[in-house]
Structure 1
Amino acid sequence: MIKITYKMKSYRENLKDIIQPDDTIIELGCHVGKSSQFMLNRIPNGNLIALDNSPEAKSKMDKLSFEYKNLSFLNSDVRLHESLKKVKEKIDKCDILSVDLGGGYHPDTTFKVYYIWSSTFKPRDSIIRNRGLIDFINTATSNEDMHSENGFLDSCGDMGIPPQIKEFKLWSEKI
């Protein structure tokens, strides 16, 4: 299942509905860890890999990592191949992919990041916090029925990372 939300309260309510105690979660855009802590309190037998490249994140997330042994924090840019590769070296699959890149209006970066990471880790569930994606979905119409039961797009199948997203420098035959 893929859920899209904008309001932080809805984001956390949706997380609460999908998190199971032994889940492995990848959180893209953890910032200072308020949602990370929310997730960690719900996965006593699971693991959270959280990433953010903001200067504010490092000290707060390092402190949270000391408090929660099931948290791995990477102070890195989720758009870069090196970040994806570091996480791929730790795990092959995740249960939940949480994408919160500021919740801002412009959906292009958020969607590209979601697509790359979900194609790689094939999550059971995904949650994306972005106002622009909600606006697009609520405004768009189509007479075609495309639907995914997974936390990733069924249409991407096992094609891997397409070369069209080269601006993120993420394409690799090794992943």
Structure 2
Amino acid sequence: MIKISYDIELYRKQLNEILREDDVVVELGCHVGNTTEIIAKTVTKGKIIALDNSPEAISQMVKLTKKYSHLEFISGDVRLHDILAKVSKKINKCDVLSVDLGGGYHPDTTFKVYFIWASVLKPKHTLIRNRGLIDFVRTSQTEEIIESKEGWLESCGNEGIPPQIKEFELWSSSLKKITKK
């Protein structure tokens, strides 16, 4: 199941509806941890890996990791292969992938990051917070029916990044190594 929202309260409500106490959650774009703390209070017997690239996230997230032993913070750019590889080595499943990269900005980057991480981690559920993606989905039309029932795009199988996306040529071979664990 993949849900897209923009309103932060709706996003957090949707998270609360799907989170279970023993889930493994990967949160991309945790910023200073307001949503992370909500996740940590629910996922008490699982594991949470929260990531953000902003300098202001560091001190707040370090405080949260001291408060919640099942929370790990990684300061890094989620667009980088090394960060994805680091996370994928730490977990053997992903129940929930939470993506909040800039809220309403950069839907292209948000979708690319989602696609790459979900292709590797194969989450049961994904929540994406991005206004541009909602706008795109709501104004699109197609007669084709392609559906995924998981939190990743099942129609893509285990292909990783399609080779025709030239900007990801460096990712392609690296991702294939990760997905063949």
| TM > 0.5 | yes
Change (3 A) 1:165 1:149: farther
Q: CA deviation at 1:85?
A: 0.8
* Secondary structure at the counterpart of residue 77 of structure 2: coil
Deviations 1:100-137 (A, max 9, x none): 00112331000000000000000000000000000001
**1:69-84 mapped onto 2 (5 Å cutoff):** 69-84=69-84
Contact 1:4 1:130 in 2 (8 A): yes
Aligned length: 175
* Secondary structure at the counterpart of residue 101 of structure 2: strand
Tell me the residue number matched to 1:170.
171
Taking the aligned partners of 2:135 and 2:142, their CA distance within structure 1 comes to 15
Tell me the residue number matched to 1:12.
12
Deviations 1:114-166 (A, max 9, x none): 00000000000000000000000111111111111101111111112333264
- Amino acid paired to 1:31: H
* Percent of aligned pairs with the same amino acid: 54
Change (3 A) 1:36 1:168: farther
Structure 1 segments, 4+ long, off by >4 Å, are: none
- Amino acid paired to 1:156: C
Q: Does 1:151 align with 2:151?
A: yes
Higher helix share: 2
Q: CA deviation at 1:44?
A: 0.8
Q: CA deviation at 1:61?
A: 0.4
Tell me the residue number matched to 2:2.
2
* RMSD (Å) for aligned C-alpha atoms: 1.3
**1:98-113 mapped onto 2 (5 Å cutoff):** 98-113=98-113
- Amino acid paired to 1:69: S
Q: CA deviation at 1:91?
A: 1.1
Give the unaligned 5+ runs of structure 2.
none
- Amino acid paired to 2:38: F
- Amino acid paired to 1:170: W
Taking the aligned partners of 1:62 and 1:53, their CA distance within structure 2 comes to 14
